[in-house]
Structures are given as C-alpha cells and as structure tokens.
Structure 1
Amino acid sequence: MDRYSRLVAWLKVLLPLTALGLLSTLFLLSRNIDPMAAVPFAETEIAERLKGQQITAPFFSGTTDAGDRVTVSAGTMATRAGTNNEASDLSAQIDLSSGTRIVLFSDKGAFDMMQGTSSLRGNVVITTSTGYKLTSDALHTDFDTLAVESPGPVMGSGPLGVLNAGQMQLQRVGDNENAHLIFTNGVKLIYDPKNLEE
C-alpha cells in the first residue's frame, strides 16, 4: 500500500472521530436554557400592549375627489376602544394633481381612518417640492377635502426667504383650483433674493 492510500485510510477514521469530539464538547459546554423562564419584557410595556391592539409599520393610500394622491404611514399604530388610532413616527405624503408634493412628518399623532383625518403633534415638519420647509407643534389634516391647518405658529424657510406665521393652511378655494399654502395671523418674512437666483 502506497503512502497516499495509507493517508486516506487514516483520514477516514480520524475525521469522523474529530467531528464526534467537537460535537460532544459543544453539548458538554453549552448552557442549560430553562424553557419556563420569563420573557424579558418590562411590566409597563406588557401593560401598554394589553390595553389595545398594535400594528407595526401600517401603510394607507388613497385618492381625493380632486385627484390628489395621499399616502400615510407610521412606525407603530395602537388602537384603543373609543379613541382615535394613536401613532408614532407618523408621516403623510400628498401628491397634488397640479404636480406639487407635500410631505408631513411628526413624532406622534392620531389618525381616524373612518373620518379620513389626522392630528399630528410633536416636532411637526412640513416640506414641499416648491421649496418650503416649515416646522410647527401641531397640524390638523382632513384628507377627504385636503384641508391642512396648523392651529399654532409655523416657522421655516421658503423660496422667498425665512418666514414666521401665526397660522398656516393648505386649501383649495374652488373645486378645480390648485391647492395653495396660505399664511395668516402675523406673517413675518425676511426676504432673501439669493433663494430666487438659485
């Protein structure tokens, strides 16, 4: 028998024995896991989840009567009896029939699917494809009529410069009219002609 054949014969014995040795040490050194051990959840988290149902990463989309496309998504949404759906990381994208895109985002909010309304609060950010980037503490939206209203002050920047206003509305005056952003209640604009040049 030549050297190669003897090596193959020895490897046929040694390799399975080595595999058995590795498997036995794997089982001997492994920790015992108690299947009856408690799942590591905080008591407050369990109590919060038991109050109502919760959906992770919900997504809704639809079209208004005027042909505007609306999509709404959230990180989580919890439903409780007798209240609106409470959501976290709530965002909405409105693609107007005129071609303008409006994106709304807030840390939390409430969404009523039956009424088609939402109430965003906590670090609300409004951006538009026409160059506006605004922030507010709260924003109320009716997706059926496409009425967006900030009950409190808004601040940010736009194509003309930096602006502050006591209130902002996105509304369509007539059925066939394009929707417009309307700033009211003490509007202050710092005009910057560089924005128009860019």
Structure 2
Amino acid sequence: MTSESRHTALVHWAKIALPLSALVLLSTLFLFSGKVDPTTAAIYSKVDVTTLAREQRLTAPEFSGVTEDGAALTVQAATAAPDPSGNGASASKIIAKLEEGTGVVTDMRAKTGRIDPASGQISLSDGVAVQTSSGYRISTERVDMATDRTSLSAPGTVEAKAPFGTLHAGQMQIDATDPKTGSDLVFKGGVKLIYQPQK
C-alpha cells in the first residue's frame, strides 16, 4: 500500500471515528450530570425578581447638603422606596452625620426612616442610636431632623450615657443657637440623672 493510499484510508476512518467519539463524549456528559431541580433554584437566588419588578427601589441612596448655619449633613441608606403619594421615600438601615462648623459631629443610626428633602425633614425610627463628638451616646425610638438648619429632636423617651453619668429624659433637642458657639443639647421632660464622678 502506497503512502498516498494509507493517507486516504486514514482520512476516511477519521471522518467516521471523530464524530462517533464526540457523540460518545456528549452522551457520557449528559448521562452522568446531575438533574436540575427548579424548586431548589430559589434557595440559591439572592435577588427576589418578583419583588423588584413590583416595587420601585433604590439601592444605597445618599443625600448630602449644607444647612443655613453652615453644618454639613449626609444621609446614607441601604435601600429606599419612593412614597406612592410623592412625599419623599421610606428607607432602611440609615446612617446620618451632622458636622457643624465648630467641629461638633453628631452620628446617627436607625433601622428605618423617611427622607423627604422637599419638605426639609428626615425622620429616623426603630432603634435610633445617636453619638456626639462631645461624648454623649443616646438611644431612642425616633429622631426628627431638618435639612435646612441644625435642628434635631427626639419626641419620645431617651436614654443617654454622658461623660459625667447616665440620663433618662422624656425628650431631647439639639439646636444651633449661634454658629460661632455651636449647638445646644437639651434634655427635658422628667430628666433623671445618675451622676458618676470621673476617677
């Protein structure tokens, strides 16, 4: 048999053997692969497509501005959904910071809240934590603050840890009376103080 005829025979058998080999490999792949259970697909899904299609929602929104008295206000949230009536948006996992021109900083955290820059109001609710750079750590259920001026109020019961002890009060208010001296932190409504002198 000449080399040319051997080559022709090899090509002839390759045309038959190679497609058959590919078919065997594909059959093996499908035979030994696991079956897909569509009912378990939801377990691994991290996105609720139905909810996303039904609800309008923003992820990681941020609001920032400067008040008339020179304080910088920033508000961040994990998610926010616009109010159907057009009055701002409800938000979750809110972090807010108020930095006054005098250097006083007030940090706030809350599980939920409402952001409405058009009306100049932001409300934090559900386990609000407030911490000031002057050493106060305050917990309450609701805090309302303005976006156009330094004004923050807790209309309900507050528990506070101060540099000099612990406080219990019916209400709390932070207002900027003078941009040069900074804001005043006022507790009112049946204030109880447990004084703890520093060692």
2: CA distance between counterparts of 1:148 and 1:128? 12
1:131 aligns with 2:131: no
Paired amino acid for 1:73: Q
* Alignment match, 1:168: 172
1: CA distance between counterparts of 2:161 and 2:184? 16
Normalising by structure 1, report the TM-score.
0.75
1: CA distance between counterparts of 2:66 and 2:180? 15
* Alignment match, 2:71: 68
1:135 shift after superposition: 0.5
SS state of the match for residue 93, structure 1? strand
User: For residues 8-23 of structure 1, what are the structure 2 equivalents within 5 Å?
Assistant: none
Please tell me whether the aligned partners of residues 52 and 79 of structure 1 are also in contact (alpha carbons under 8 angstroms): no
2: CA distance between counterparts of 1:110 and 1:147? 16
Paired amino acid for 2:168: N
Paired amino acid for 1:163: L
Unpaired runs of 5+ in structure 2? 1-21
The count of residues paired between Structure 1 and Structure 2 equals 171
Please tell me whether the aligned partners of residues 66 and 176 of structure 1 are also in contact (alpha carbons under 8 angstroms): no
* Identity value in percent: 33
Q: Alpha-carbon deviations, 1:109-140, whole Å to 9, x = none?
A: 11102223111111111101111001011111
2:187 corresponds to which of 174, 183, 186: 183
Normalising by structure 2, report the TM-score.
0.74
* Alignment match, 2:163: 159
1:171 shift after superposition: 0.2
2:57 corresponds to which of 32, 47, 54: 54
1:141 aligns with 2:130: no
* Alignment match, 1:9: none
1:117 aligns with 2:121: yes
1:40 aligns with 2:42: yes
Paired amino acid for 1:107: K
1:78 aligns with 2:111: no
Q: Alpha-carbon deviations, 1:79-101, whole Å to 9, x = none?
A: 13214311111120111111111
Please tell me whether the aligned partners of residues 176 and 183 of structure 2 are also in contact (alpha carbons under 8 angstroms): yes
2: CA distance between counterparts of 1:145 and 1:101? 14
Please tell me whether the aligned partners of residues 75 and 96 of structure 2 are also in contact (alpha carbons under 8 angstroms): yes
Runs of 4+ aligned structure 1 residues displaced above 6 Å come to: 36-39
Q: Which has the larger radius of gyration?
A: 2
Alpha-carbon RMSD: 2.9
Q: Alpha-carbon deviations, 1:30-73, whole Å to 9, x = none?
A: 34559x989739xxx66754554101111122211222111100
Unpaired runs of 5+ in structure 1? 1-19
* Alignment match, 1:16: none
2: CA distance between counterparts of 1:117 and 1:29? 61
* Alignment match, 2:11: none
* Alignment match, 1:105: 109
1:183 shift after superposition: 0.9
